[in-house]
Structure 1
Amino acid sequence: MSLLEVKDLRLSFSGPPLFDNAAFNIAERECVCLMGRNGCGKTTLLKILAGEASADSIEIIKSPHTHIAYLPQEVPTDLRGEVFAVVSQGLRSGLESYEGEVLVHTAISRVELEPTDLCENLSGGQKRRALLARALVSQPDLLLLDEPTNHLDIPSIDWLENFVKRLDCAVLFVSHDRAFVRNMATRILELDRGQISSWDASYDRYLELREARLEAEERQNALFDKKLAAEEVWIRQGIKARRTRNEGRVRALQKLRQERSERRERQGQVKMR
């Protein structure tokens, strides 16, 4: 069952649109990896879904009770104080004091920290656990994770994988960690040239399917460019192109030129580690 559906997502700065009428959906309890080259808009998309950034236009279809929590890529440099106080910041408003306290203690226990631990004394991985608890204490239906394995050692990544797999919510994450994506993703969303495509496949199968699609796209573009080049040669013949019976061909050439000018080429590759 669909938990969240996004339609008509548009956002432009300078240059080509970051999102060009993009659309996608997230189902309940699935773990989806959002992939794309650096700078294509992955973090921006997570922030839009989290309500921390805005789009030029967007339609989000979800239940009024659907709650989204976001764990950003970087640990704040000013993260200080007891873990209990930090995690409590994630509580939803309207909870009774006792109920909120139980939720905070439960979340802290799940990430294997102590309520009285001081965040300034924690390791980088432990700070991420505290922030994860702060996100989970709100009991989200969808958890957004931006590069969750950054700066983590192998044992911490293993812990995170096992923890996320046990969550009772949907997860949308961005990662350049090949092993993490391979172990976690049940589906791939690819952000490419302003569009979002869904690949209902494992990470390795997605790579195979994407390569085949790109090869087909290159062949199609080559045929298009060859036809356009031939028509450009014809139009330069001059008077023949101005004859009435050739006006349709001239209009067709103008359309080819327009299509070619609107084509967005791939910029760079997704860098995995």
Structure 2
Amino acid sequence: MNLVNLESVSHAFGPKPLLSDVSLGVEQGDRVGVVGRNGGGKTTLISIIAGELRPDSGRVTHTRGLRVGVLSQRDDFDPASAVQDLVLDGRAEHEWAGDPTIRGILANLLADIDLSARAGDLSGGERRRTALARLLIGEHDLIILDEPTNHLDIEAIAWLAGHLAQRRSALLVVTHDRWFLDAVSTRTWEVVDGSVERYEGGYAAYVLAKAERARIAQAAEERRQNLMRKEIAWLRRGPPARTSKPKFRINAAEALIADVPPPRETVELMKFASARLGKTVADLEDVTLHAGGPGAGPLVLDRCTYQFGPGDRIGLIGVNGSGKSSVLRLLSGTVEPDSGRVVRGKTVRLAHLSQELSELDPSRRVLETVEEIRKYVQVGKKEWSASQLLERLGFRGEEQWKVIGDLSGGERRRLQLLRLIMDEPNVLLLDEPTNDLDIETLTELEDLLDGWPGTLVVVSHDRYFLERVADRCVALLGDGRLSMLPGGVDEYLERRAAGNALSARAAGTASAPAVASSGSSGASGASGPADSSGPSGGLSAKELRELQKELGRLERQLDRLGAEETSLHAEMAQAASDFERLAKLDAELREIGARKEAVEAEWMTLAERLDD
């Protein structure tokens, strides 16, 4: 059953047409991801579908009694209203507390927010999560989400994807988070040049199908060009019979990605990075760090020792407030550790992309503010001019002469990134670089970073971007250490889930009344039957403590093996021309890899015991 139909819909913003004669429909059960460039008409399209915006021409029809829930990029909360009243809409406590779905939404989106707090006292991120929780608690036939992952960490994004997958509502979502698109959508709409191109499947299928369309179009153009050349040659030769037209075989979709080289030559880039950087980039030695300064705020690092080497491409993961930005500021020298020291290499040229945009002069023009840094830059083996790089990141033609004060937030973010790269750093610290960037620009940025030699540390909630540009992941899990994640984001989510389960079990054990046996008393009685297997065969408090201790030992062992692996990679980069040395190092690397696999398997076994 069709829920919404658009017939020959057109809409313009000023002189710019955003939608031109668009006809489409949203059916019951549809799960549609909407993509396109910033300013291309995505928000206009979903606003028309939601009934919030009337098109200039055309017809929009909704099925009778359609319940539409919309998460826009702005909320209209009364500043004096309490969060509980906004989200729960007058439900009695026994009503919402007894509903596991509502409890899950509150626990995953509003766990750190006081439900009695006024909306006017919330930060922008807290207001956003409040609006999302309010929407998800309601019952809707069609849910429309505009950038729902903004202000959510990786864990919350994974939960939201799982929650939406279980709902029966039709879904229409605009987001630049490509992992989230793949997780929740079964169809993709691309808003481009006033039309809406439709593709089956999520983001990965859309990319493949779009590449196939481009390949077919290119093949058709090649056929036309070949035919033209043959016709011209025939005309010049005179009357001989024409040669047969060329025949082009259409390959399967898999051919588009077959035999494609890796996005970056890791060994070559590490070798180049080693030459430019030397062996030392940034070494943390017994560092203790609090987020708010010495002894103030949450503890981020506790006597932590870690080495960032030349050519490392590290994704830093953690929940909001875990101290990821503080670690980047520590590496950049903006803040000093409470104790311990940070040793930086003498050849380090560091650039730090923060979440602020204050360094851009609003009165300058785009091209001028880039060229004042440098007119040409070497990225890998290729030299680029400032104008060429601007074009790659979406500033085409006259847009390079815009005044910065007239740019949108996403355009300023792109410009800020480009100025950093133009300064030719050899260490890049990127704090949420994907904020306000559309998918096309993200793809260009990823391609640019693929050829960039140097050390990269990136903090991002965009899982696709993180896994695309980083070679390994490190997590802040609240234990004061930088923990290696050989399994990437998936391992982080598993370890977080195991940690939460352990905390819940420990809390349950502590709060449960001790059951003393008739033959025991005092402490011995409390640790008798009550400490043994519970009704569901759970672990005793002593076993939980021992398992937690053993997990910690295995994690430290994984960290050490990861550091050895990093060191070997650096040695291999330096010995690139010594094949005998490379063979020996490769054998050592394989041995360490086998040991890591064994330790990881042991860790997973223990984690599963905690989950049982």
TM-score normalised per structure 1: 0.68
Describe the superposition over 1:142-180 as per-residue Cα deviations: whole angstroms up to 9, x where unpaired: 011001111222122122222222222111000111111
Residue in structure 2 matched with residue 178 of structure 1 by the alignment: 178
Counterpart of 1:142 in structure 2 is: 142
Which residue does the alignment assign to 1:13? 13
Q: Could you tell me how far apart the structure 2 residues matched to 1:150 and 1:188 are?
A: 20
Q: Whole-Å Cα distance in 1 between the matches of residues 18 and 34 of structure 2?
A: 15
The residue identity in structure 1 corresponding to 2:203 is Y
For the pair 1:270 / 2:264, whether they are aligned, the reply is no
**Equivalent residue letter for 2:46:** L
The Cα of 1:212 is off from its aligned counterpart by 2.1
Q: Given the superposition, is the C-alpha separation of residues 31 and 271 from structure 1 closer, same or farther in structure 2, using an over 3 Å criterion?
A: farther
Conserved in 2, the CA contact under 8 Å of 1:11 and 1:20? yes
CA distance in 2, matches of 1:116, 1:148: 24
> Does the residue aligned with 1:211 lie in a helix, a strand or coil?
helix
Alignment of 1:1-273 (within 5 A): 1-74=1-74, 79=79, 81-87=81-87, 109-112=103-106, 113=110, 115-119=115-119, 126-217=126-217, 223=224, 270-272=440-442, 273=465
**CA–CA separation in structure 2 for the residues paired with 1:105 and 1:23:** 44
Q: Output the CA distance in 2 between the equivalents of 1:87 and 1:153.
A: 20
Once residues 58 and 31 of structure 2 are traced to their aligned partners in structure 1, the CA distance between those partners, rounded to angstroms, is: 23
Aligned-residue offset at 1:104: 11
Q: Is the 8 A contact 1:111 1:129 kept in 2?
A: no
Structure-2 residue corresponding to 1:242: none
Q: Point out where structure 1 has 5 or more consecutive residues left out of the alignment.
A: 90-96, 228-266
SS of match in other structure, 2:157: helix
Deviates more, 1:210-219 or 1:116-125: 116-125
Paired residue secondary structure (2:164): helix
Task: Give, in whole Å, the separation in 1 of the partners of 2:127 and 2:98.
Answer: 16
Residues 77 and 134 of structure 1, relative CA distance in 2, 3 Å threshold: closer
Flag the 1:123–1:172 CA change in 2: closer, same or farther, 3 A: same
Question: Which residue identity lines up with residue 85 of structure 2 in the other structure?
Answer: A
Q: Distance in 1 between matches of 2:158 and 2:80?
A: 26
Q: Output the CA distance in 1 between the equivalents of 2:220 and 2:97.
A: 56
1:25-56 Cα shifts (integer Å, max 9, x gaps): 22223321011111111011122222322211
**Contact preservation (8 Å) 1:111, 1:133:** yes
CA distance in 2, matches of 1:55, 1:173: 20
**Secondary structure of 1:139's aligned partner:** coil
Flag the 1:141–1:116 CA change in 2: closer, same or farther, 3 A.
Answer: same
Q: Secondary structure at the match of 2:17?
A: coil
Change beyond 3 A, Cα 1:146–1:192: same
Q: The residue matched to 1:10 in structure 2 has which SS?
A: strand
C-alpha separation between the residues in 2 aligned to 1:124 and 1:162? Answer: 24
Contact 1:70-1:144 within 8 A present in 2 as well: yes
SS in 2 for 1:39: coil
Aligned-residue sequence identity (percent) comes to: 30
Question: Which deviates more, 134-143 or 156-165?
Answer: 134-143
What amino acid is aligned across from residue 11 of structure 1 in structure 2? H
Alignment RMSD: 3.6
Partners of 1:140 and 1:192 lie apart in 2 by 29
- Given that 2:33 and 2:202 are in contact with CA atoms closer than 8 Å, whether structure 1 keeps it comes out as no
The verdict on how the C-alpha distance between 1:3 and 1:76 changes in structure 2, with shifts beyond 3 A counting, is closer
SS in 1 for 2:49: helix
How many angstroms does 1:130 deviate by? 2.2
The one-letter code matched in structure 1 to 2:169 is C
Q: TM-score, normalised by structure 2?
A: 0.33
Question: Equivalent residue for 2:232?
Answer: none
Instruction: Give the CA deviation at 1:140.
Output: 1.4
Q: Distance in 1 between matches of 2:79 and 2:131?
A: 9
SS in 2 for 1:58: strand
Q: CA deviation at 1:138?
A: 4.6
Instruction: Report deviation, 1:23.
Output: 1.7
Q: What is the number of residues matched between the two proteins?
A: 226
Give the AA of the match of 1:111. Answer: I
CA distance in structure 2 between the partners assigned to 1:56 and 1:104 by the alignment = 46
1:12 deviates by 2.1
State how far apart, in whole Å, the 2-side matches of 1:136 and 1:179 are. 20
1:78–1:115 distance in 2 versus 1, CA, 3 Å = closer
Deviations 1:59-106 (A, max 9, x none): 2343211111110124569755312322366xxxxxxx879x958996
Change (3 A) 1:76 1:98: closer
Cα distance in structure 2, aligned partners of 1:168 and 1:42: 24
1:202 Cα shift? 3.0
Aligned to 2:519: none
Letter in 2 for 1:139: E
Amino acid at match of 1:182: D
2: CA distance, partners of 1:80 / 1:36? 37
